[in-house]
Amino acid sequence: MPHSNITPKTRDRARRLRRELTKPESAMWDMLRDLRPYGARFRRETPIGPYIADFAWLSARLIVEVDGDSHETNFGRRHDIARDAFLKNQGFTVLRFDNAQVLDGPDYVFIEIQKHAAPFLRNAA
């Protein structure tokens, strides 16, 4: 009996995505790592059920998504709605930022993440 509900295909895809971060994802990773001294433990490309979260702090039940152009299509929007509903049903808070927000407004993005992460941070950042 498998000990996880994550399929091997999803695990392999997550590994590949970790190796192929986009520029906005790399910028987000740098931001999230700045919260490490305060106890934040985000992981990159983390499988959760049938989905892969861009960045997840599992114990805080907080997910940060960096959305590219594919999220602006009808299919992308429908997929995100279903995905967010699944993740919220699992007890996660999902924060979404598009690529431009991450690259052009990193201060705003960091403050929004920090606001949601604050209850879980020690020595509040």
123 part of a folded domain:
no
1 part of a folded domain:
no
State the pTM of this model.
0.81
**Sequential pLDDT tens for the chain (125 residues):** 344 677 777 666 666 766 678 899 999 999 999 999 999 999 998 899 889 899 999 999 999 999 876 656 676 678 889 999 999 999 999 999 999 999 999 999 999 999 999 999 987 54
**Strand-pair category, 93-98 with 43-48:** unpaired
Instruction: State the CATH number of the domain containing residue 25.
Output: 3.40.960.10
Domain count across the chain? 1
Give the domain extent around 86: 8-117
122 part of a folded domain:
no
Tokens 């990159």 correspond to 44
Give the whole-angstrom CA distance, residue 71 versus residue 110: 21
99 part of a folded domain:
yes
51 part of a folded domain:
yes
Instruction: Tell me the per-residue pLDDT of 20-48, one tens digit each, with 9 for 90 and over.
Output: 788 999 999 999 999 999 999 999 988 99
User: Per-residue b/e over 52-87, b at no fewer than 16 CB within 10 Å?
Assistant: bbbbbbeebebbbbbbeeebeeeeeeeebeebbeeb
